[in-house]
Amino acid sequence: MASLPLSCYTTTQFSSSISTQPPPRQRFSAQTPPPTRRFQVRSTGGPNNEKGENSPPNGGKFDRRNLLMGMGGLYSAANLVPTDSPASATPISSPDLSKCSRGTDLSTQQPLDVNCCPPVVDGITNYKLPPVTKMRFRPAAHLAGKEYIAKYEKAVAAMKALDKTDPTDPRGYSQQANVHCAYCNLTYEQSEDSDTKLQIHNSWHFYPWHRWYLYFYERILGSLIDDPTFGLPFWNWDNPPGMVMPDMFAVTTSPLYDARRNLEHLPPAAADLNFASKPTTDPSKIVTNNLTTMYGEMVRNVSKLEDFYGAKYVVGTAPDPGPGTVERGSHTALHVWVGENTPTGEDMGNFYSAGRESLFYSHHANIDRLWSTWQGLRGKKPKGFKDKDWLDATYLFYDENKNLVQVNVKDALDNEKMGYTYQKVDNPWVNYRPKPKVKKSKAAKNSKAPTATDTIFPVKLDKVVKVLVDRPRKSRSKKDKEDEEELLVIEGIEVDNSKFVRFEVFINDEDDKPEDLRDKAEFAGAYSQVPHKNSTRTKSKIRLGLTELLEDLDVDDDDQILVALVPKAGGEDITIGGIKIIYAS
């Protein structure tokens, strides 16, 4: 499998002429708050009508047709008065940049030694996508030619030069890195009346926020070299020919190079999408394991929207409610695989410093491409939530003219409407459905492991934990399976988010070395987390699809399954609150 052929594609460059006329918008300072306006919130429905174990009554939607989302986004959210019902919700909205906090080191109770706060400028405009005349073209990094690489290096060099000429220029390399740091490192409050910190990872904000981030980053680079057609390269790490770090990033004299990397992972090392600090993968199996992992993240485990995008996250939700498949898997693995081989993992291996690494943007460009690919794979199925708490969520970014602009999720659902497209590449994982090591396994029937209903939780993952989980329904019909996905829910995942952690999940495992099963149907998925600089203890959950997996293992008629939780990194810092099976329509 490692010798899969490299498919070649012709890189075509497009040109475009784009103009914007965003409407003016009033800005209030922290010292002069806007007049208070109060609204009564009424619940009307659920997110895309997909039911799960934590769906509130009526799904947490409310009608905002008469609600004006102004005043920097922050105040409009703060002035909503939710009812006592948990169905009431308010979408995450743009933070007040003047209230950015440096955070506290929990071990010393002293302010952090890093300031992520971007510059505060007066005036915010509501961004309107400009008409698309010609597409920006994002090439696969490993297929890019010399002319393109030279152009990209020139653009990044110009962005880094702004750090010297004007360190407060929001288009500068360091300030662009700060945008990611601030939104991802618990430096903003969710609303004026809440101490709960804002985090756009590990929830349904992961894809749209990063899409907007790359969108403006790309436009800034293009403007610095006077090329409105410039597109970012994507690191095609889900395809064997692209699994090695692209050569353009490994040239030490290039502005794309970052010295704070794991030097053992420079070319020709193949990226490990199941990386866990210490190598646990047979090098000869990395490619097959990677393809199996991608099949799980993009096909097997994502029949429900929440499982691909991540859990619902609104004002009042604690950070990290639940990451989607790609985010908690290959996304995190490659952050840590690239980052410096130290406990804190700079640059790429830590949220606060990830934006300082040029490869970060190509890594996320591929994740953005995978979002579009996944949408295409769904056919007529819903491609996004209908929940206004998702669609109406807003963020702040700096555009190529140094303007502070507000954007929303609903404008980020189609990359071509945003004016860019990706080079066509193979997706060999699409049909890479894994086979079981053992069919009709008796592992569950013969196991003496405790049942998940016993009083074994919470349990620390400082060793392998195996539990028997009851299946409320068995021998389901084809229609039952089409109507409802059987999901394994692992909840109350409590971690110290300043540390990298990872555990893997296997079903009916009969092997003493479960990592050897990553290319088999018994491998259900994994949970992992990129470290934060601003640390706290958070609780999260994951959902793993079982319908296809149990068919492959030929145990669809069994009353129980044997679940093995295998710690791979930081197990002593992971606590599991419970495990159960649910059915989601």
**What's the per-residue H, E or C state across 87-115?**
CCCCCCCCCCHHHCCCCEECCCCEECCCC
DSSP β-bridge partners for residue 381: none
* pLDDT given at position 36: 33
* 523-529 and 501-507 strand pairing: antiparallel
Annotated binding residue at 335? yes
Residues 423-460: tens digit of each pLDDT: 999 999 999 999 999 999 999 999 999 999 878 999 99
Distance CA 231, CA 210 (A): 15
CA angle 222, 224, 229 (to 5 degrees): 20
On the question of a cis peptide bond just before residue 454, with omega within 30 degrees of 0, the verdict is no
**364 marked as part of a ligand binding site:** yes
Q: Do residues 100 and 189 lie in contact, with contact meaning Cβ atoms separated by under 8 Å? A: no
pLDDT for 458 equals 95
Considering only the C-alpha atoms of the chain, give the largest distance between any 2 of them, rounded to a whole number of Å. Answer: 69
CATH number of 443-584: 2.60.120
Strands 537-545 and 394-398: what pairing? unpaired
Domain locations along the chain: 39-422, 443-584
Residue 230 has what DSSP assignment?
-
For 42, the token pair is 């009424």
pLDDT for residue 219:
98
User: Measured between alpha carbons, how far is residue 308 from residues 300, 304, 326, 328 in Å?
Assistant: 10, 7, 7, 10
* Cα→Cα distances 323→362, 363, 482, 569, Å: 21, 18, 24, 18
Residue 59, pLDDT score: 35
The pTM of the full predicted model, rounded to 2 decimals, is 0.84
Quote the pLDDT of residue 111: 73
- State the DSSP code for 223: H
Q: Among all residues, which ones are annotated catalytic?
A: 180, 201, 210, 331, 335, 351, 364
Which residues are CB-neighbours of 136 under 8 A, at least 6 positions away? Answer: 14, 16, 218, 222, 229, 230, 231, 419, 420, 421
Q: What would be the CATH architecture of the domain defined by 39-422?
A: Orthogonal Bundle (1.10)
Residue 14, number of CB atoms within 10 A of its CB? 14
Q: How many other CB atoms are found less than 10 A from the CB of residue 263?
A: 9
Is residue 210 part of an annotated ligand binding site? Answer: yes
Cis upstream peptide for 268 (omega within 30°):
yes
Partners of 173 in the β-ladder:
none
Task: Report the b/e string of 111-131 with b at 16+ CB within 10 A.
Answer: ebebebbbbbeeebbbbeebe
In the predicted model, residues of the chain with pLDDT beneath 50 are: 1-87
Q: What is the pLDDT of residue 106?
A: 59
Give the per-residue pLDDT at 17: 30
Instruction: Return the pLDDT at 241.
Output: 96
Digit-coded pLDDT (tens) for 404-416: 999 999 999 999 9
> What DSSP assignment string belongs to 333-396?
HHHHHHB-SSSS-TTTTSTTTGGG-HHHHHHHHHHHHHHHHHHHHTTTS--S---HHHHT-EEE
Tokens linked to 267? 């070319």
Is 331 flagged in the annotation as binding? yes
**∠ Cα 226 230 234 (to 5°):** 150
In the three-class reduction of DSSP (H, G, I as helix; E, B as strand; rest coil), residue 179 is classed as helix
Measured between alpha carbons, how far is residue 239 from residues 236, 282, 332, 583 in Å?
A: 6, 18, 17, 33
**Would you say 38 and 79 are in contact if contact means Cβ atoms under 8 Å apart?**
yes
Structure-token match 């509130």, residue found: 56
